[in-house]
Amino acid sequence: MATWKVAPALAAGCTAILKPSELVSATCLELAEVCREMGLPPGVLNILTGLGHEAGAPLASHPQVDKIAFIGSSAPGSKIMTAAAQLVKPVSLELGGRSPIVVFEDVDLEKAAEWTIFGCFWTNGQICSATSRLIESIAAQFIQKLVQWSKNIKISDPLEEGCRLGPIKSVTYLDVEMIISFSLLQYEKILKFISTAKSEGATILCGGDRPEHLKMGFFLEPTIITDVTTSMQIWREEVFGLVLCVKTFGRSAAVLSNDLERCEHLTKAFQAGVVWINCSQPCFCQAPWGGNKRSGFGRELGGWGLDNYLSVKQVTQYISSEPWGWYKSPSKL
Protein backbone atom coordinates (compact mmCIF):
# COMPACT_ATOMS: atom_id res chain seq x y z
CA MET A 1 0.00 0.00 0.00
CA ALA A 2 3.01 2.28 0.33
CA THR A 3 3.25 2.25 -3.47
CA TRP A 4 -0.34 3.57 -3.65
CA LYS A 5 1.08 6.77 -2.16
CA VAL A 6 4.64 6.82 -3.49
CA ALA A 7 3.99 5.99 -7.16
CA PRO A 8 1.48 8.78 -7.92
CA ALA A 9 3.46 11.29 -5.84
CA LEU A 10 6.61 10.63 -7.88
CA ALA A 11 4.64 10.51 -11.14
CA ALA A 12 3.22 13.94 -10.32
CA GLY A 13 6.77 15.31 -9.98
CA CYS A 14 6.85 15.54 -6.19
CA THR A 15 9.58 14.51 -3.79
CA ALA A 16 8.20 12.27 -1.04
CA ILE A 17 8.86 11.23 2.54
CA LEU A 18 7.44 7.82 3.43
CA LYS A 19 6.97 7.15 7.14
CA PRO A 20 6.11 3.42 7.47
CA SER A 21 4.57 1.67 10.45
CA GLU A 22 7.25 0.81 12.98
CA LEU A 23 6.10 -2.82 12.70
CA VAL A 24 6.66 -3.19 8.95
CA SER A 25 9.46 -0.74 8.14
CA ALA A 26 11.65 -3.33 6.39
CA THR A 27 9.40 -3.64 3.34
CA CYS A 28 9.47 0.13 2.76
CA LEU A 29 13.26 0.22 3.14
CA GLU A 30 13.43 -2.50 0.48
CA LEU A 31 11.17 -0.39 -1.75
CA ALA A 32 13.61 2.51 -1.42
CA GLU A 33 16.51 0.22 -2.32
CA VAL A 34 14.68 -0.93 -5.47
CA CYS A 35 14.07 2.71 -6.43
CA ARG A 36 17.76 3.51 -5.89
CA GLU A 37 18.80 0.58 -8.09
CA MET A 38 16.43 1.82 -10.80
CA GLY A 39 18.18 5.18 -10.84
CA LEU A 40 15.86 7.39 -8.80
CA PRO A 41 17.96 10.43 -7.78
CA PRO A 42 18.92 10.78 -4.09
CA GLY A 43 16.46 12.80 -2.04
CA VAL A 44 13.44 12.17 -4.29
CA LEU A 45 12.08 9.32 -2.14
CA ASN A 46 13.01 9.37 1.54
CA ILE A 47 12.13 6.73 4.13
CA LEU A 48 11.76 7.97 7.70
CA THR A 49 11.38 5.18 10.25
CA GLY A 50 10.32 5.60 13.86
CA LEU A 51 7.34 5.82 16.18
CA GLY A 52 4.35 7.95 15.31
CA HIS A 53 4.85 10.63 17.95
CA GLU A 54 8.57 10.90 17.19
CA ALA A 55 8.56 10.73 13.39
CA GLY A 56 5.02 11.01 12.06
CA ALA A 57 3.73 13.89 14.20
CA PRO A 58 6.58 16.29 13.29
CA LEU A 59 5.97 15.58 9.60
CA ALA A 60 2.25 16.33 9.92
CA SER A 61 2.95 19.76 11.43
CA HIS A 62 6.08 20.66 9.44
CA PRO A 63 5.62 23.83 7.32
CA GLN A 64 7.70 22.43 4.43
CA VAL A 65 5.52 19.34 4.02
CA ASP A 66 2.94 20.43 1.45
CA LYS A 67 0.58 17.44 1.48
CA ILE A 68 -0.15 14.47 3.76
CA ALA A 69 -1.54 11.08 2.70
CA PHE A 70 -2.19 8.72 5.62
CA ILE A 71 -3.26 5.08 6.00
CA GLY A 72 -4.15 3.93 9.51
CA SER A 73 -6.79 3.97 12.19
CA SER A 74 -9.23 6.78 12.90
CA ALA A 75 -7.62 8.14 16.11
CA PRO A 76 -4.21 9.05 14.64
CA GLY A 77 -5.97 10.13 11.44
CA SER A 78 -7.92 12.69 13.43
CA LYS A 79 -4.70 13.97 15.06
CA ILE A 80 -2.98 14.28 11.69
CA MET A 81 -5.93 16.22 10.29
CA THR A 82 -5.83 18.57 13.30
CA ALA A 83 -2.09 19.17 12.89
CA ALA A 84 -2.44 19.81 9.15
CA ALA A 85 -5.32 22.21 9.75
CA GLN A 86 -3.02 24.60 11.60
CA LEU A 87 -1.19 25.24 8.32
CA VAL A 88 -4.24 24.62 6.07
CA LYS A 89 -2.38 21.87 4.20
CA PRO A 90 -4.28 19.25 2.14
CA VAL A 91 -4.80 15.78 3.62
CA SER A 92 -6.14 12.48 2.28
CA LEU A 93 -7.01 9.83 4.86
CA GLU A 94 -7.62 6.11 4.47
CA LEU A 95 -8.84 5.07 7.90
CA GLY A 96 -10.40 2.08 9.66
CA GLY A 97 -13.80 0.64 8.90
CA ARG A 98 -16.46 -1.82 10.02
CA SER A 99 -17.83 -2.85 6.64
CA PRO A 100 -20.95 -5.02 6.44
CA ILE A 101 -21.91 -7.53 3.76
CA VAL A 102 -25.59 -8.18 2.94
CA VAL A 103 -26.63 -11.67 1.77
CA PHE A 104 -30.10 -12.34 0.35
CA GLU A 105 -31.95 -15.63 0.15
CA ASP A 106 -31.76 -15.93 -3.67
CA VAL A 107 -28.00 -16.60 -3.86
CA ASP A 108 -26.03 -19.80 -4.33
CA LEU A 109 -25.17 -20.66 -0.73
CA GLU A 110 -21.72 -22.13 -1.46
CA LYS A 111 -20.58 -19.12 -3.46
CA ALA A 112 -22.03 -16.69 -0.94
CA ALA A 113 -20.38 -18.53 1.95
CA GLU A 114 -16.95 -18.45 0.30
CA TRP A 115 -17.17 -14.73 -0.54
CA THR A 116 -18.38 -13.95 2.97
CA ILE A 117 -15.52 -15.89 4.56
CA PHE A 118 -12.95 -14.41 2.18
CA GLY A 119 -14.26 -10.88 2.72
CA CYS A 120 -13.69 -11.12 6.47
CA PHE A 121 -10.78 -13.53 6.96
CA TRP A 122 -8.51 -12.60 4.01
CA THR A 123 -5.24 -11.15 5.39
CA ASN A 124 -6.35 -12.40 8.83
CA GLY A 125 -9.04 -9.73 8.89
CA GLN A 126 -6.26 -7.15 9.31
CA ILE A 127 -7.47 -4.88 6.54
CA CYS A 128 -9.60 -1.74 6.68
CA SER A 129 -12.04 -3.03 4.04
CA ALA A 130 -12.83 -6.35 5.78
CA THR A 131 -16.57 -7.06 5.43
CA SER A 132 -16.79 -8.29 9.00
CA ARG A 133 -20.47 -7.54 9.69
CA LEU A 134 -22.73 -10.08 8.02
CA ILE A 135 -26.36 -9.06 7.57
CA GLU A 136 -28.38 -11.92 6.10
CA SER A 137 -31.87 -13.36 5.68
CA ILE A 138 -31.06 -17.07 5.25
CA ALA A 139 -30.31 -17.91 8.88
CA ALA A 140 -29.45 -21.45 9.98
CA GLN A 141 -28.65 -23.07 6.63
CA PHE A 142 -26.28 -20.33 5.54
CA ILE A 143 -24.63 -20.03 8.94
CA GLN A 144 -23.84 -23.73 8.85
CA LYS A 145 -22.14 -23.26 5.49
CA LEU A 146 -20.00 -20.47 6.96
CA VAL A 147 -18.90 -22.72 9.82
CA GLN A 148 -17.92 -25.48 7.39
CA TRP A 149 -15.89 -23.09 5.22
CA SER A 150 -14.20 -21.57 8.29
CA LYS A 151 -13.13 -24.94 9.67
CA ASN A 152 -11.68 -25.90 6.28
CA ILE A 153 -9.19 -22.99 6.19
CA LYS A 154 -5.56 -24.05 6.60
CA ILE A 155 -3.92 -22.17 9.48
CA SER A 156 -0.14 -22.55 9.57
CA ASP A 157 3.27 -20.97 9.22
CA PRO A 158 2.85 -18.52 6.29
CA LEU A 159 5.82 -20.15 4.51
CA GLU A 160 4.11 -23.54 4.56
CA GLU A 161 2.54 -24.73 1.30
CA GLY A 162 -1.20 -24.07 1.13
CA CYS A 163 -1.31 -21.70 4.11
CA ARG A 164 -4.37 -19.42 4.05
CA LEU A 165 -4.14 -17.93 7.55
CA GLY A 166 -0.98 -16.99 9.40
CA PRO A 167 -0.43 -15.39 12.82
CA ILE A 168 -1.95 -12.16 14.10
CA LYS A 169 0.43 -9.19 14.28
CA SER A 170 1.51 -7.46 17.49
CA VAL A 171 0.56 -3.83 18.17
CA THR A 172 1.16 -1.32 20.95
CA TYR A 173 -1.82 0.81 21.98
CA LEU A 174 -2.06 4.04 23.95
CA ASP A 175 -5.33 4.86 25.74
CA VAL A 176 -5.18 8.68 25.65
CA GLU A 177 -8.69 9.32 26.99
CA MET A 178 -8.01 7.51 30.27
CA ILE A 179 -4.44 8.85 30.49
CA ILE A 180 -3.27 5.25 30.86
CA SER A 181 -0.59 3.83 28.60
CA PHE A 182 -0.31 0.10 28.17
CA SER A 183 0.99 -2.47 25.74
CA LEU A 184 -1.56 -4.90 24.38
CA LEU A 185 -0.87 -7.48 21.74
CA GLN A 186 -3.34 -7.39 18.87
CA TYR A 187 -3.81 -11.08 19.54
CA GLU A 188 -4.94 -10.37 23.09
CA LYS A 189 -7.05 -7.45 21.93
CA ILE A 190 -9.03 -9.72 19.59
CA LEU A 191 -9.53 -12.28 22.36
CA LYS A 192 -10.79 -9.48 24.59
CA PHE A 193 -13.32 -8.45 21.92
CA ILE A 194 -14.55 -12.04 21.76
CA SER A 195 -14.85 -12.48 25.52
CA THR A 196 -16.68 -9.15 25.84
CA ALA A 197 -19.13 -10.19 23.12
CA LYS A 198 -19.83 -13.40 25.02
CA SER A 199 -20.38 -11.52 28.28
CA GLU A 200 -22.81 -9.17 26.50
CA GLY A 201 -24.94 -12.11 25.37
CA ALA A 202 -23.58 -13.01 21.94
CA THR A 203 -22.94 -16.62 20.92
CA ILE A 204 -19.47 -17.78 19.84
CA LEU A 205 -20.58 -20.19 17.13
CA CYS A 206 -17.09 -21.37 16.17
CA GLY A 207 -13.44 -20.42 16.64
CA GLY A 208 -12.29 -17.81 19.12
CA ASP A 209 -9.25 -19.72 20.37
CA ARG A 210 -5.82 -20.99 19.36
CA PRO A 211 -5.89 -23.90 16.87
CA GLU A 212 -5.14 -27.19 18.61
CA HIS A 213 -2.30 -28.10 16.23
CA LEU A 214 -0.39 -24.85 16.88
CA LYS A 215 1.08 -24.52 20.37
CA MET A 216 3.13 -21.35 19.81
CA GLY A 217 2.69 -18.02 18.02
CA PHE A 218 -0.22 -15.60 17.71
CA PHE A 219 -2.49 -17.98 15.79
CA LEU A 220 -6.26 -17.75 16.09
CA GLU A 221 -9.12 -19.76 14.67
CA PRO A 222 -11.57 -17.88 12.41
CA THR A 223 -14.41 -16.79 14.68
CA ILE A 224 -18.11 -16.50 13.87
CA ILE A 225 -20.35 -14.74 16.40
CA THR A 226 -24.16 -14.80 16.29
CA ASP A 227 -26.98 -13.32 18.41
CA VAL A 228 -25.32 -9.92 17.99
CA THR A 229 -27.12 -6.63 18.62
CA THR A 230 -26.15 -3.21 17.27
CA SER A 231 -25.36 -1.96 20.78
CA MET A 232 -22.60 -4.55 21.35
CA GLN A 233 -18.96 -3.50 21.18
CA ILE A 234 -18.17 -6.30 18.73
CA TRP A 235 -20.66 -4.79 16.24
CA ARG A 236 -19.72 -1.12 16.70
CA GLU A 237 -15.90 -1.18 16.83
CA GLU A 238 -13.27 -2.33 14.35
CA VAL A 239 -11.74 -5.62 15.55
CA PHE A 240 -9.04 -5.83 12.87
CA GLY A 241 -8.90 -9.58 13.19
CA LEU A 242 -10.52 -12.95 12.52
CA VAL A 243 -14.05 -12.18 13.71
CA LEU A 244 -17.27 -12.27 11.67
CA CYS A 245 -20.44 -10.97 13.34
CA VAL A 246 -23.88 -12.07 12.14
CA LYS A 247 -27.29 -10.44 12.46
CA THR A 248 -30.39 -9.96 10.34
CA PHE A 249 -30.86 -7.23 7.77
CA GLY A 250 -29.58 -3.61 7.19
CA ARG A 251 -27.16 -1.81 4.72
CA SER A 252 -23.56 -2.53 3.67
CA ALA A 253 -20.64 -2.02 1.29
CA ALA A 254 -21.16 -5.44 -0.30
CA VAL A 255 -24.31 -7.20 -1.48
CA LEU A 256 -24.81 -10.81 -2.59
CA SER A 257 -27.99 -11.39 -4.60
CA ASN A 258 -29.09 -12.72 -8.00
CA ASP A 259 -31.52 -9.82 -8.30
CA LEU A 260 -29.35 -7.25 -10.12
CA GLU A 261 -32.04 -4.57 -9.88
CA ARG A 262 -31.96 -4.98 -6.11
CA CYS A 263 -28.16 -4.82 -6.17
CA GLU A 264 -28.20 -1.61 -8.19
CA HIS A 265 -30.72 -0.05 -5.83
CA LEU A 266 -28.58 -0.88 -2.81
CA THR A 267 -25.32 0.33 -4.34
CA LYS A 268 -26.92 3.75 -4.85
CA ALA A 269 -28.11 3.78 -1.25
CA PHE A 270 -24.81 2.68 0.35
CA GLN A 271 -22.81 5.50 1.89
CA ALA A 272 -19.50 3.80 1.15
CA GLY A 273 -16.49 4.56 -1.03
CA VAL A 274 -16.27 1.02 -2.42
CA VAL A 275 -19.19 -1.32 -3.14
CA TRP A 276 -18.94 -4.97 -4.23
CA ILE A 277 -21.74 -6.95 -5.91
CA ASN A 278 -21.68 -10.75 -5.52
CA CYS A 279 -18.08 -10.65 -4.31
CA SER A 280 -15.91 -9.03 -1.64
CA GLN A 281 -12.44 -7.41 -1.65
CA PRO A 282 -11.48 -7.24 -5.36
CA CYS A 283 -9.31 -4.17 -5.93
CA PHE A 284 -8.25 -2.81 -9.31
CA CYS A 285 -5.48 -0.22 -9.79
CA GLN A 286 -7.60 1.59 -12.41
CA ALA A 287 -10.58 2.16 -10.07
CA PRO A 288 -10.88 4.70 -7.22
CA TRP A 289 -10.36 3.44 -3.66
CA GLY A 290 -11.23 5.22 -0.42
CA GLY A 291 -13.73 5.67 2.38
CA ASN A 292 -16.54 7.94 3.52
CA LYS A 293 -17.33 9.58 6.86
CA ARG A 294 -14.99 8.38 9.64
CA SER A 295 -13.31 5.98 7.24
CA GLY A 296 -11.59 8.97 5.67
CA PHE A 297 -11.71 10.96 2.45
CA GLY A 298 -9.79 11.27 -0.80
CA ARG A 299 -9.29 8.52 -3.37
CA GLU A 300 -6.31 6.36 -4.26
CA LEU A 301 -5.46 4.60 -7.54
CA GLY A 302 -6.16 5.53 -11.15
CA GLY A 303 -6.29 9.17 -12.13
CA TRP A 304 -7.85 9.98 -8.76
CA GLY A 305 -4.68 8.89 -6.99
CA LEU A 306 -2.57 11.16 -9.17
CA ASP A 307 -4.89 14.10 -8.48
CA ASN A 308 -3.95 13.87 -4.78
CA TYR A 309 -0.48 15.20 -5.59
CA LEU A 310 -1.36 17.85 -8.16
CA SER A 311 -2.43 21.45 -7.60
CA VAL A 312 -4.47 23.13 -10.34
CA LYS A 313 -3.13 26.48 -11.46
CA GLN A 314 -4.77 29.00 -13.82
CA VAL A 315 -2.43 30.84 -16.20
CA THR A 316 -3.91 33.64 -18.36
CA GLN A 317 -1.96 35.37 -21.13
CA TYR A 318 -3.19 38.53 -22.87
CA ILE A 319 -2.43 38.05 -26.58
CA SER A 320 -4.18 41.01 -28.24
CA SER A 321 -2.07 43.87 -29.66
CA GLU A 322 -4.81 46.32 -28.63
CA PRO A 323 -4.80 48.05 -25.22
CA TRP A 324 -7.20 46.70 -22.64
CA GLY A 325 -9.08 50.00 -22.72
CA TRP A 326 -10.99 49.79 -19.47
CA TYR A 327 -9.62 53.15 -18.29
CA LYS A 328 -9.11 56.24 -20.39
CA SER A 329 -5.53 56.76 -21.51
CA PRO A 330 -3.87 59.64 -19.54
CA SER A 331 -2.66 61.12 -22.84
CA LYS A 332 -6.26 61.62 -23.99
CA LEU A 333 -7.45 63.43 -20.87
pLDDT digits (tens, 9 = 90+) for 175-228: 443 333 333 578 888 999 999 999 999 999 999 999 999 988 889 999 999 999
Contact at 8 Å (CB) between 80 and 92?
Answer: no
18 with 83, same domain: the answer is: yes
49 with 178, same domain: the answer is: no
| Per-residue pLDDT at 275 | 92
111 with 255, same domain: the answer is: yes
76 with 137, same domain: the answer is: no
| Per-residue pLDDT at 173 | 44
Residue 128 known to be catalytic: yes
19 with 129, same domain: the answer is: no
* Model confidence pLDDT, tens digit, residues 70-124: 998 888 899 999 999 999 999 999 988 778 899 998 999 999 999 999 999 998 8
186 with 103, same domain: the answer is: yes
Q: If you write DSSP's letter for every residue of 239-274 in order, what string do you get? A: --SSEEEEEE----SEEE-S-HHHHHHHHHH---S-
17 with 121, same domain: the answer is: no
36 with 56, same domain: the answer is: yes
* Residue 31's CATH number: 3.40.605.10
Task: Give yes or no for residue 172 having a pLDDT over 70.
Answer: no
pTM given for the model = 0.80
Residue 37 known to be catalytic: no
* CA–CA distances in Å: residue 90 to residues 71, 130, 297: 15, 27, 11
| Per-residue pLDDT at 301 | 92
Distance in angstroms (rounded) separating the CA atoms of residues 239 and 99 = 11
The answer to the question of residue 247 being in a domain is yes
* Residue 217's CATH number: 3.40.309.10
303 with 161, same domain: the answer is: no
User: Which is the catalytic residue, given 28, 35, 37, 94?
Assistant: 94
115 with 258, same domain: the answer is: yes
| Per-residue pLDDT at 180 | 31
What sections of the chain are H helices per DSSP?
2-11, 25-37, 57-61, 74-85, 109-121, 140-151, 186-199, 233-236, 260-269, 302-307
Range of the domain at 47: 2-95+291-307
| Per-residue pLDDT at 32 | 94
The answer to the question of residue 34 being in a domain is yes
User: Which is the catalytic residue, given 128, 206, 245, 263?
Assistant: 128
Task: Give yes or no for residue 250 having a pLDDT over 60.
Answer: no
**Per the structure, how many domains does the chain have?**
2
104 with 252, same domain: the answer is: yes
